[in-house]
Each structure stands twice: as structure tokens, then as C-alpha cells.
Structure 1
Amino acid sequence: MHIYLHETIDPVRKPGAHTRYLDELGEIVTTHGNAKGSAGGRCIANWVPVFLTGQWPQIIGFWQMPGGWDGFAKHFDTHTELFHEPLDRWYGERSGGFDRVLVGTDYTPTLDEILASGTRAPVVLHETVRLRPGDAPKYLRLLGDVKEALGDRYGFGVLGGYEVAFRNQSEAVVVWSFPDVATLVRTQSSTAEFPELLAWREQSATLELSHTGVVVRPTSWSPLR
């Protein structure tokens, strides 16, 4: 079972703060993999919302946890400090954030599989879905059927589906991959062209309690770029 670390970061509302943060984080990711004292995740992407589609400025970090649940437990049992070491360094560029632990589905590619296949996702629709307690596995199972039905025929599809841990199976994160914004826009303006997608939206609406989507792009140093 593969575990992922998902963080929503709020940069300081000062000119250049978000750029400085991403520049420093990119240097760390490309040279060391991750910051000292952090949870040791391997970077899949750091995304920035396309403005007009969500809160700004904001950064979404997405990491794969080495060792799955065992790796998660080992890290936090051996790092018992309340705040990890790099926190003070980030205070100049970010004002806070919100973290999630995600459990990947069997149809979600790992970072190694993404790298091996050369998968790219220059434009992503990132969805956070709230469900009735216990419904996340069913929702994600149906999403897997949609991923298979779409295949490669349209040039876009489901990159991954994730259950949010510690939520009593009541929340999911879905990542859709698009080659460009024009293709994404067609799924909104010309839904009849994509019957599989239209059927999914009708089906998923019967399970969802709330649904928030934001369009994001990866940084230049993200593996998914």
C-alpha cells in the first residue's frame, strides 16, 4: 500500500515570497530530495493554482512516503519533536498550511512508475471530495472504472485517486491529467463529446456531499512537469 503526503501551503502575502519559497524548495528537492527533519517524502509535484480557479497565492505539495505505513510510523516514532527542523527557515515565505495523508488506489501510479513511463501532467484538475463516512472506497472503485473506460482515447484521464486517511473514509482526492488548458476547457464546455466523463459526473454526484476543484500547474522541477 502506497502512502502519500499532501500539503496545502499558504505563502506570505508579500511580493516575491512564493517565488523565494519555490526556488529554495526546488533546490532542496533537486539536490537532497527533501529537507532535513521532514517526513522524507519523494516529490511527485509541487503545484501552483491557475488564478481564477482557486485560492491564491497557494502551493500544493505532493510527496510519496517511503516505506508505506511502516515508513510513516518509523519516521514519526523516531522524530518525536513537535516541529521539524526546517520550520523556522520557512517562516519568511509561508504563513501556514494544511496537511493530509493519502492512501493510493491500486490504479494510481507510484513515483517510480511515473518516472519509468515518462508520464507528464502539465495541467492538472485537482479535486477534493467529501463523502458520507464509509463511502470513499466505493467512490474510488467507481473512479477506477472511469479511468479504464477513458483510456487514452481523449488525451486526458485520471492520473490518480486517493483516500484521505484519518477521515473515516469520508474524503478523497482525485488528480486528473490534461495536456493543456484547451483540452480541460473542452471537458467543461462540450461535455457531450465525452460520454464516459458525463456518466461519471452524474454517478459521482449521487455520492458527493461537497466537491472542490482547482486547476494547477507543476513547477519546472516537478517530475510531472
Structure 2
Amino acid sequence: MNDKIYLHETIQITLDNRANYFKHMTVDWAPTMKDRKQKMVGIFGVFSSTGSWPEVVNLWEYDGWSGLAASFDFETANIEAMRDPFFSEWSRKAYTLRHQGYDRILIPADFSPTIDQLIAMGRIGHRLYYHERISIRPGQAKEYLSLMEKEWLPRANELGMELLGAYRTAGRNDSEVVVIWAVRDWATYATIEEAFDSSDNVAAWHRKTDGLAVDWRREVLCAAPLAPCLTGKHLAEI
């Protein structure tokens, strides 16, 4: 059972500043995370050959809705700026590194691991990740995730895809699922891609979800050097 809540951020980077943003979002942000009651799961760069670039994805974990609300309460205490003093100062530099973003609040499936569980089971240090955003028939995201756990998760594991997280997007008509898979290396990636094109097991999964999954998009992410899902250490420990 995973009772956490997650914040998923898609960030558009300005010019050649992805590495600078990685540092600003980890080393420079770490001192304020305790006040915000948050943990970082990962910070990733979208691999340019598979999606938009230069783009970064951040994934944060909170202690349920109350933890997320406490973080938002801290952030918005200044009603004029809608951000606390640390965030305001941090943002001055951030605006030179990134220019736009889009956020989602995510609710995890029961079988989706927390960052502490990922570290404890040693599911860290992967070279790449699949980042899937799946459009679901309205009202059926829970059904998709339940089916995924029973039908697709074992087959995906056999292919070399290890689950980092499976979520449904809040604030929508239960119509979007976000799934992130860890892939150990690029050789495994090649095997998986071949299977997506020709495997009977993959084809069977797609048939099973036909009409339930309306559309989906898969791109490859690479974790930033200090991402906890890569290092096995929380930012507070760096």
C-alpha cells in the first residue's frame, strides 16, 4: 500500500542549461526540502531522440494529501507573491535556466513503490527510464492500473522493465495514467524495443487494453547525477 502523493513537473529548459538546472534543483534546493515536507524521487532529462528537448522531469513525494497541503501552505503564506522567501530567491536564478513548466499531482497505485522502498530493494542506478503518459477512457484509470498489475507487470519485468512508479493524475476525469519504468542499460533497451515491435506478449497486452487505453506516449529519460533513484541517497544526505 502506497499512501503518498506525488508532484510531477515537466520543465522547459532555456538554451544549454540542463546541467545547471540539475544542480540548482538538487544542491541549491535541498536546504528547503524539510520545510516543504517533501522527498525527491528523481530528476530526469528527456533523451532528445525520444521526446521534447531540452526538457526535464521532476518527481516529488509527499506524505499523503495532508503532507502536500502542508507544503502548499508553507509556499503560499505570502499571499502577494504566492511563494515563500526561499522560493522567491531560488526562482530568480531558476528563471535564467528554465522558462516554462507543467505540473501534475499524481495518486499512486497500491503496488507503486515509494522512494524509500526503491532504495531498500536496490532498484537504483539504472541508465535509463521509460516515461509513459497514457490517455485512458474517462473514469477508467483505476481499472487500467489494476489490469496493469495483473496482466502487464509480470511480462514487463521479464522484458527487463522494473517499476519505478505507476500513478493516475488527480484533477482530471480519472483519464490519465503516468508510469515510469527503470531499465538497467541500453542493451536491455534494445531488447525491449524489439519486443514492442514483434512480441506476442506485448501484442496481447495491447489487445487487452484496446478501448481502455485511448492513446499513449513513451519517451526515454536519463536521471540527473544526484537523483535519489540513481544514487540511492536522499538529497538531505548529499
TM-score tier, shorter chain, comes to 0.7 to 0.9
Match of 1:44 in 2: 41
Shift of 1:124: 0.8
**Which of the numbers 156, 159, 166 marks the counterpart of 2:164?**
159
Unaligned runs of 5+ in 2: 231-238
When you count helix as a share of all residues, which structure comes out higher? 2
Instruction: Tell me which residue corresponds to 2:106.
Output: 102
Amino acid at match of 2:21: Y
1-side partners of 2:170 and 2:188: how far apart?
A: 32
Residues 33 and 68 of structure 1, relative CA distance in 2, 3 Å threshold:
same
Instruction: Work out the CA distance in 1 between the residues paired with 2:119 and 2:37.
Output: 18
Task: Provide the secondary structure at the position in 1 that maps to 2:138.
Answer: coil
TM-score, normalised via structure 1 length: 0.87
Residue of structure 2 equivalent to 1:25: 25
Q: CA, structure 1 residues 40+147, in 2 after alignment: closer, same or farther (shift >3 Å)?
A: farther
Deviation at 1:212, TM superposition (A): 1.3
Contact 1:149-1:196 within 8 A present in 2 as well:
no
Q: 4+ residue runs of structure 1 moved beyond 6 angstroms?
A: none
Corresponding residue number in structure 2 for 1:55: 52
Superposition pairs of residues 168-183 of structure 1, within 5 angstroms: 168-183=173-188
| Equivalences, count | 219
Q: Structure 1 residues 51, 192: CA separation in 2 closer, same or farther (over 3 Å shift)?
A: closer
For residues 195 and 88 of structure 1, the distance between their equivalents in structure 2, rounded to whole angstroms, comes to 52
Which of the numbers 63, 73, 80 marks the counterpart of 2:69?
Answer: 73
Q: Which amino acid aligns with 1:28?
A: D
Q: Give the direction of change, closer, same or farther, for the CA distance of 1:158–1:196 in structure 2 (3 Å limit).
A: farther
Determine the structure 2 residue equivalent to 1:149: 154
Quote the Cα distance in structure 2 between the aligned partners of 1:72 and 1:190: 39
- Contact map agreement 2:107 2:169 (CA 8 A) in 1: yes
Q: Which residue of 2 aligns with 1:10?
A: 12
